[in-house]
Structure 1
Amino acid sequence: MLKRTLALLTFLSLFVSAPLFSQEQKKDVLVITVNGVINPASAEYVGKSIKRANEQKREAIVIELDTPGGLDTSMRDIVKNIIGSEVPVIVYVSPSGARAASAGVFITLAAHVAAMSPGTNIGSAHPVGVGGKMDKVMAEKVTNDAAAYIKSLAERTGRNAKWAEDAVRKSVSATETEALKEGIIDIVSKDLNTLLSTIDGRKVKTVMGEKILKTANTNVVREEMSLRHKILNVITDPNVAYMLMLLGFYGLFFELTNPGSIFPGVMGGICLILAFYAFQTLPVNYAGLLLIILAIIFFILEVKIMSYGALTIGGVIAMLLGSLMLFESPGPFMKLS
């Protein structure tokens, strides 16, 4: 009798603990948001998040994407991180009204699972020069390179390579419904929870081989940009970079005209360094930059030389022209507003 009782209790304990054990083994899904231009800051943020997801053995990582495009080098860094990830990467163009344009198309096509919210769009991936101008031969080379790259990404993930090439060569775009019909994406989903439930059980192929996603009712962990990445992302905005440059020049100007002030010179130097960091990611027209520097020189000389306002007028004209010429790009997100 005692043996039967012990056997029954053992069976019941195993029966009760089994669901608890399976629940403890359930992995989390990491969710990050990329909203804005694809630049070195966002590329570093995505790269580190994917690395962390791999280290923590997450079930998957979801990139909520809304971008007008960005730098080719930063986009390629993100794509390489996605391809090299052991953890499945899901790119979700959301919320409603978002887009995956230009560089965003490459990132979406590289994902193990590509999804879009209702009311979103994807496409227009034709490359443009950083300064907005390329000669015919160079433009053809860049376009052919981008077309070959996006075709390879589409073929790797089993998506529509013809449409992908047209997105580069002809700047075609598609709504979420058209994208699903054309085989550009895998799913249209109204929200993240629905998406995770829909892809549960889906088989994907990572660098470690095939994996079946177990995302239904999983715990979602959101990871925001660190303060460092937020700051770097902000200063690469053309308007912020322009203001930093002006503050930098005027800080040094005040220090030169009032020796010993110290604070304006220190702040001016910091602002200039931050501005020049931002300029490496922006389509800077160096003629415009030189005009702004010339304007500052005129203002300094006006203090030292009596020109009856001639140097000031010249400085104002040079500053206005330089400001108008400073950023030159076909993309509105790369211009001064």
Structure 2
Amino acid sequence: MNRFTCFMVMLFVATASFAQNDSIQKQPLVYKFDIKREIGSTSWIHTQSAIDEATQLEADIILLHLNTYGGQVVFADSIRTKILNSRIPVHVFIDNNAASAGALISIACDSIYMRPGANIGAATVVNQTGEQMPDKYQSYMRSTIRATAEAHGKDTVIAGGDTTFIWKRDPSIAEAMVDESIYIAGIIDSGKILTFTTLEAIEHGFCEGKADDVNEVIEKLGYNNYKIVNYKPTFYSEVKGFLTNPVFHGILILIIIGGLYFELQSPGIGFPLLASAIAAVLYFAPLYIDGLAANWEIILFIIGIVLIAVEIFVIPGFGLAGISGIILVFTGLTLSLVDNVVFDFSNVPTKELFMSLIIVSAGSFLSFIIAIPLSQKLLSSGPLKGITLQSSQEIDLGYIGVDIEPRKLIGSTGIAHTTLRPSGKVIINEELFDAVAEAGMIYKDEKVKVTRYASGQLYVIKHL
């Protein structure tokens, strides 16, 4: 084989190898993560981790597999913001339900696909019992879901030589999923909250198509020979999601403050103080790891606890140390929940700061409401009754620090040994006693009668 032939063979092999490698490198990468639970802190943590990991892997698209009845608005808002700001297109496959907070998250995605028989909507803000929250909460949700729909912009439609611009996601329709007073002809009557079925969502621009599974969604997005990478939650992310839940934060604050109060009421028990310390660690640890709780914020909390203890044990009362301690404890707990830089709050959303204030205030209030009557009950009638002195030492039972023999002289008569002005001395049963005249002066040698005995002193009157 001559040199030219060898060269051509080697060039062919190299070209084929390069083409094969290039084909492998260009295989579409689909990153998929699930939200199939109530929207909360754990869902928010999973979303952050999934989108960050997809960005590191340079995925072509992110696919959210969603099935939820809703959850907490604050976390749903954080998730929708993360999706809107993602550099990688985020698509959602609604597997049956995208209600309430789930609807908000879905509308934030670049495209929506729904399983036949699925639904999207009913985004009214409700409390734990299912009752509608006051209008200020509904107003915030209306604005948020309207802004989310507007973020997708408008499509240009040319018909009959005229150019019109139509919202890709109609903000009014999105708002009707929250506000029952909105009327849209042919879609929803006033007095009803809007919820779309799959076909209705497709008809009105809130769904790009129906699909039976994830693979069908990916194919409809125009990807073939793709590779799917599934987000796998770590044990730490699950624990962290639980520990950073606002409800759990409130419980931890209750234990921190309640435990300190209980320990201060009965020093030396140890268990309440230990419970308070463990709760403080569980409160601050995940926040510190995430970079929310700074060293100085934790130090503020510790200094506040020390000042409160000083106020109680060293300088009893309620002065500067106690007030300063309470302010520092409250400040440390609150600032640890927000992403501030020292005292720069310019990048902290107002709603986030407001939420942290509510959590700390509610936890503190409940701690006193629960801790005060509970400590009184346990220390007076519970198993801890024996460690504190609750009974009073009655004089009738013999608890007295002075001689009580003179009490037996009540009703006895005697003679004034000196003039009582009003105090002096009297002789009763041939014994000399100090005495005080109940009224006026009693002269020497006048007869007296003992009326009472108090504070180690006989009280007498003239005896006629």
Which of the five TM-score ranges fits, normalised by the shorter chain? Answer: 0.5 to 0.7
Q: Structure 1 pair 81/24, CA: closer, same or farther in 2 (3 Å)?
A: same
Q: Is 1:159 the counterpart of 2:169 in the alignment?
A: yes
C-alpha contact (below 8 Å) 1:38/1:69 kept by paired residues = yes
C-alpha contact (below 8 Å) 1:155/1:161 kept by paired residues = no
Aligned to 1:204: none
| Aligned-partner Cα distance in 2 for 1:140–1:122 | 18
| Aligned-partner Cα distance in 2 for 1:253–1:286 | 11
SS in 1 for 2:65: strand
Q: Is 1:223 the counterpart of 2:231 in the alignment?
A: yes
Aligned to 1:296: 374
- Structure number with higher relative contact order (C-alpha < 8 Å, ≥ 6 residues apart): 1
Tell me how far 1:229 sits from its aligned partner.
Answer: 2.7
Q: Structure 1 pair 224/296, CA: closer, same or farther in 2 (3 Å)?
A: farther
Q: Structure 1 pair 182/267, CA: closer, same or farther in 2 (3 Å)?
A: same
Greater fraction helix:
1
| Aligned-partner Cα distance in 1 for 2:103–2:176 | 12
Q: Structure 1 pair 14/139, CA: closer, same or farther in 2 (3 Å)?
A: closer
Tell me how far 1:87 sits from its aligned partner.
Answer: 1.2
Aligned to 1:20: 21
Tell me how far 1:126 sits from its aligned partner.
Answer: 1.8
Aligned to 1:78: 79
C-alpha contact (below 8 Å) 1:159/1:183 kept by paired residues = yes
Deviation per residue, 1:146-172 (Å, 9 max, x gap): 453244245468234343121121332
Aligned to 1:121: 119
| Aligned-partner Cα distance in 1 for 2:139–2:38 | 24
| Aligned-partner Cα distance in 2 for 1:150–1:83 | 8
Output the aligned Cα RMSD: 4.1
Q: Structure 1 pair 135/124, CA: closer, same or farther in 2 (3 Å)?
A: closer
TM-score (norm 2): 0.51
| Aligned-partner Cα distance in 1 for 2:18–2:364 | 68
The equivalences for 1:1-337 within 5 A come to 2=2, 3-4=4-5, 6-15=7-16, 17-94=18-95, 97=96, 99-128=97-126, 138=136, 141-142=139-140, 144-146=142-144, 148-153=146-151, 155=153, 158-170=168-180, 171-200=193-222, 215-235=223-243, 262=270, 265-271=273-279, 274=282, 290-302=368-380, 303=385, 304=388, 305=390
In the alignment, structure 1 segments of 5+ residues that lack a partner are: 201-214, 308-337
C-alpha contact (below 8 Å) 2:261/2:371 kept by paired residues = no
Percent identity at matched positions? 23
Tell me how far 1:26 sits from its aligned partner.
Answer: 2.3
C-alpha contact (below 8 Å) 1:249/1:272 kept by paired residues = no
| Aligned-partner Cα distance in 2 for 1:140–1:243 | 27
Greater fraction strand:
2
Q: Which segment is superposed worse, 248-257 or 112-121?
A: 248-257
Aligned to 2:430: none
C-alpha contact (below 8 Å) 1:109/1:154 kept by paired residues = no
C-alpha contact (below 8 Å) 2:150/2:169 kept by paired residues = no
In the alignment, structure 2 segments of 5+ residues that lack a partner are: 155-166, 181-192, 284-332, 338-354, 393-464
| Aligned-partner Cα distance in 2 for 1:59–1:293 | 54
Tell me how far 1:4 sits from its aligned partner.
Answer: 4.0
C-alpha contact (below 8 Å) 2:262/2:371 kept by paired residues = no
Count how many residue pairs are aligned between Structure 1 and Structure 2: 289
SS in 1 for 2:24: helix
